[in-house]
Structure 1
Amino acid sequence: MRPGTEIEDLLRLHAPQVLGALVRRYGHFGAAEDSVQEALLAAARQWPETEVPANPRGWLIKVASRRLVDQLRADEARRLREETAAALAPRDAFTAPPPGESRAPSQDDTLTLLFLCCHPELAPAAQIALTLRAVGGLTTAEIARAHLVPEATMAQRISRAKRRIKGVPFRQPGPEDRDQRLAPVLQVLYLIFNEGYTATSGSDLHRADLAREAIRLTRAVRRLLPREGAVTGLLALMLLTDARSAARTGPEGELIPLDEQDRSLWDGKAIAEGTALVTEALSQGPAGPYQLQSAIAALHDEAARAEDTDWPQILALYDILVRRTPEPMAELGRAVAVAMVHGPRAGLAEVAVLEDRLAGHHRLDAVRAHLLEKAGDIDGARAAYRLAAGRTLSVPEARYLRTHAARLSTGAPAESPAESSAESTP
């Protein structure tokens, strides 16, 4: 693990909880987020030189609160609100724990913050963008890439969303909130997990902290709505997908595709829980996208060997999925399933239909490269692998794709496509 990674993970874990604590006590979402960012920067500078506090979340809340209070005091119009919030705050809210005790603040506000960011006053796109920023800890650039829009456009969307919810009460979600906000909440959790499982940029394939936080929050939502099939299905999908994490990379961080993974490294406990949740989710009303994707993930995980994978059943599930949710990434996954059942030429025909909708996306190029290779078009496959490598911002994916292109140049035996192209992950 590279130096500083532990502290980076710790800060990313606590950031949404610290922000939630400040918003609950003081309001002022935008100002609170700025103060939290300043506290995170202070921690990133100080902790490597000293030591991580016994109660890192309490430290961050204390520093961020001081900075927020200073900012509020600078504005006479906000003085009354600041004094009221200070009077209501628990006496020991910002005190450090005794030596040897790692007491956390009494309330984890992350779930409340999640529902606040998905307030019905916001458009769906703004709900998702704001939550990915405040709860997921993703940068504006990462969120923009996930939505295939310019970074400046996404920055404006997030700023408008903050202004829109200014003054909205910070409270635990009630039944009406859950009904109105559940769909965007689940989509945000899906995207946070997706970024954690396969990072869109950087030197690491997997951001385990994001994946774990998405699973934790989804469990919390399921405690609120235990009989909601979409919630159960999403949790099942996350568990079944994350169960493969230990086998996805080699000793040097290199990507290992699904059908080459050592399946003994997969997390059997998570697979068992996820498979049971799939059965439960499919019994909780009509199957939506999360239930269907979790069923596809279960079929992958239940195969003892890659050649045992039930591709006809996976294709049947994809057929239902794309009929109900015509989303291009789901259709790309279906193209792979078509190729596995009916041959690479049939899969290439499906990929061609997605050219306009996924133009410039490296996953489209990676799938095309794999299918061209399977069809015997080595020159075309080599060019597509190189194109995909040039378009991804993920260092492990780019390295894998370039290596694959180089092997084709030397006439080495064909291997599997990149994992993100071949399996049913979010």
Structure 2
Amino acid sequence: MTGKYDVLIIGGGLVGASLLCALASAINQYGLKVALVETHSIDEARDTRPNAPPNSPPGYDARASALSYGTRLIYDELGIWPDLDPFATPILDIQVSDRGHFGATHLNHQEENVPALGYVVENHRLGEVLLKRLKAYRDQGQVDVLSPAQVQSLQPLSDSETKVVINQGDESFEKLASLVVLADGGRSRLMEKLGISRKQYDYQQHALIANVSPDKPHNGIAYERFAGRGPMALLPLSGDRSALVWTVPSDEIDNKMSMDDETFLTTLQEKFGYRAGEFIKVGVRESYPLALSVAREQVRPGLVVLGNAAHAMHPVAGQGYNLAIRDTMALAGNIAESLRQGMAPGNLSRLLQYVDEQRVDQRMTLDFCDGLVKLFSRQELPVILARNLGLSCLDMSRGLKGRFARKAMGF
């Protein structure tokens, strides 16, 4: 391992591994020196199921992510999509409706001239593909991977040099990096150590997630169903399973989580209706609190905050991971351009340009998701009437619906 890196990525999850893949061309073209530090061993199989036995194969309850068509194009560009494609369930249609009211809109992949509006991929498949690529770079000597290892501290030494203290086993050592990328998730302790705070809004809601099976094929249809105090999303999965994301008020989550399966399915059916058929099976349920969280600083000299560490949003439109991937590609492009200009990757003026270029996309995506949640959670009659008229007008206007579809596809 070298003593100094151009880029040191902290976090080998989906975002950190994607950034490493996006930097591959700069590694080959400019000799970019890159290291990645990950707390878990990248050589040990990991199961995304709740309470899964070690090294057991994922099954019915494997969790999944929705990838926009734009993200698919990015992974195509990086040469990753061919490995993901066999495990990706295409979203061919999206039906948006307000339960018990007249408003609805319907998006179709053929109207948008794309093979799919998006794809649903189980997290363990996405992780396996990215880790396979990461390990290949490591084994070929293109990058250094410290795993399992943990970054203990970061100390800026100059505008483009940071001392990184790393613990690996019983050993502690120091490395230098021009640019450090924090991609260690929404609970980043390093952000706290650096004094980077977050703007937060608590929705007073929890996401209840589970895989369910209706009694009929999903035919590639995704549903966004606004039902009272929280939206419900149903995404198509392989084996005619569907991934449920149910937004539940925090004062109701314990009740939903403690129901037996039969009672839960009955309650789900009452709230969702029969658009997707009759629900006949539910897997393990999980829940987590929902909040809008945005880092007050995304860049400093020699530092970038990326992924959930930079921004976390409501899952209502499935945009969080897709926005993070767009940020990732923009950052990789910024680094390559810095090298082309003979500048260090950690140069603050260059990093500020990255933030400026992404600010509009981030703001629009965050506001879009936040606005949907707040609009469809309100139950005043004038608000209900206005939003249903809006959905109906959207469905009748080809131009408006096209723009809405392109936003959902990540463009």
Alignment TM class, shorter chain as reference: under 0.3
Choose between structure 1 and 2: higher strand proportion.
Answer: 2
Larger Rg: 1
Choose between structure 1 and 2: higher helix proportion.
Answer: 1
Q: Which has the higher contact order (CA 8 A, sep 6+)?
A: 2
